[in-house]
Structure 1
Amino acid sequence: MTFSLVARDSGGAFGMVVCSSSPAVAARCLHVRSGVGVVASQNVTNPQLGPIGLDALASGANAETALKTALAHEKFPEYRQVVVVDADGGTAVHSGAQTLGVHSSAQGSGAAVAGNMLRDEGVIRSLLFGYVSSTAPTFEGRLLDGLTAAVTAGGEAGPVHSAGIQVVEDVPWPVTDLRVDWHDDPVGELRRLWTVWEPQKRDYRVRGVDPTAAPSYGVPGDL
């Protein structure tokens, strides 16, 4: 019911995009931590595996070890699909024997992708290629290009309805965290939300770090 891309940008940012036929996919599957890495927990999802994997990465484990640590805490690993990227761009993927429908995964330099209930296995290759071949000037734009390529290649076997993107950089909170929880075109709507957020992203970071240097808020009542 899900396909996702997790990645480490060359500048040290971490990010993930995800799409699904079920509602609110990002709330369950998306786990990103600044300076640490990314974990996607999907298929028959156990959201607990995300924090377990991130804690392992934070303690110094690489992607493979963090994946093994997460699965060691899992009673039903055969139902889980888990993808990890570590601080060095190392990757690891697990797709249990009970992963749903047509499923596939792929790993590249600093990025990994996985999906289930796919139209065909080519969707996952398109997801990774769409990301690595993107010429978008932002990390978010490249992640979204990967997601768009996967949908264009056929996406899930049925219609998708939810999508999300999260990126962390050099501050503890996500600098981008956008979600579409139920929509007829969730990837298109997610891209529209990015066009709204992109020109404001830096200003909101500045407001968190040093509000005295922040621009005016541009809302009624702002003096």
Structure 2
Amino acid sequence: MTFSIAGRCVRTGQFGVAITTSSISVGSRCPHARAGVGAVATQNITDPHLATLVLDAMEGGQSATEAIAVVTSGRDNIDYRQLTAVDAKGTTAHFTGAHILGTNAISEDIDCVAAGNLLSSTAVAKGISDGFMADPSAHLAERLLSGLEGGLAAGGEEGPVHSAALIVADKMPFYLVDLRVDWEDDCPIRKLRSLWQAYEPQMQDYLNRAIDPSVAPSYGVAGDP
């Protein structure tokens, strides 16, 4: 049903999530990140509020491990949830409930945690984390996307995926990168790659428009002087 990776860039302090699933609009529910705090993916039978609770706990000083333990302890319906998190120190943590769908797996590596359910095999999770680790010098968004592609190459989900999303939180309260494919019959990961390739050259321009419009380029649209 879903596979994802949550990661941190130790060089920049950025946090992010890349995720894909068989259902519509995964980006509206499952990937979450907060500048200076960490990143969380909430999936399977999703409760988006769990991600907010985990991020709040980490912002309050708890590690990813502590935050997930507190949020999942005794919570109603928690056996239907799968959660991953990475905190400001690069510590990773995860939770997989007893009622997770199909073949599921977790893979942790330096500054990242990959997870999935309804996978074609348990090898998919390691394919995701290996993809993330392939080029530590790359931009975090690139590394996260490479993680998704690694999971797809390792077999992906049991069935077809239809939506995908990529987020990166940097220094601002809004996302530096927030790209979504809400529905795609062919390959949403490939479409997400093309969106990232189009967006990356303009990424700094959009940031400048928010923080210092005087240095931002013109919009390049009809009527713009």
- TM bucket normalised to smaller: over 0.9
| TM-score between the two structures when normalised by the length of structure 2 | 0.96
Residues 115-194 of structure 1 correspond to what in structure 2 (within 5 A)? 115-134=116-135, 137-183=138-184, 184-194=186-196
Q: CA deviation at 1:162?
A: 0.5
Which residue of structure 1 lines up, in the alignment, with residue 2 of structure 2?
Answer: 2
Q: Give me the identity figure in percent.
A: 43
Among 213, 216, 220, the residue aligned to 2:222: 220
Distance 2:67 2:138 in 1: 31
Distance 2:143 2:55 in 1: 23
| TM-score between the two structures when normalised by the length of structure 1 | 0.97
8 Å CA contact 1:16, 1:143 repeated in 2: yes
Deviations 1:104-136 (A, max 9, x none): 001111110100000000011100001101367
Deviations 1:89-111 (A, max 9, x none): 00101011111100000111111
Distance change >3 Å, CA 135–CA 57, structure 1 → 2: closer
Unaligned runs of 5+ in 1: none
Q: CA deviation at 1:170?
A: 1.3
Residues 39-78 of structure 1 correspond to what in structure 2 (within 5 A)? 39-72=40-73, 74-78=75-79
Deviations 1:32-77 (A, max 9, x none): 1111101111011111101011111111111011102221373011
Distance 1:35 1:182 in 2: 31
SS at match of 1:126: helix
Residues 72-87 of structure 1 correspond to what in structure 2 (within 5 A)? 72=73, 74-87=75-88
Distance 1:96 1:193 in 2: 33
Unaligned runs of 5+ in 2: none
SS at match of 1:203: helix
8 Å CA contact 2:36, 2:171 repeated in 1: yes
Deviations 1:112-163 (A, max 9, x none): 0100000000011100001101367322111111111111111000011110
8 Å CA contact 1:43, 1:81 repeated in 2: yes
Q: Detail structure 1 runs of 4+ shifted over 6 Å in the superposition.
A: none
Distance 2:135 2:101 in 1: 29
Which residue of structure 2 lines up, in the alignment, with residue 210 of structure 1?
Answer: 212
Distance change >3 Å, CA 159–CA 136, structure 1 → 2: farther
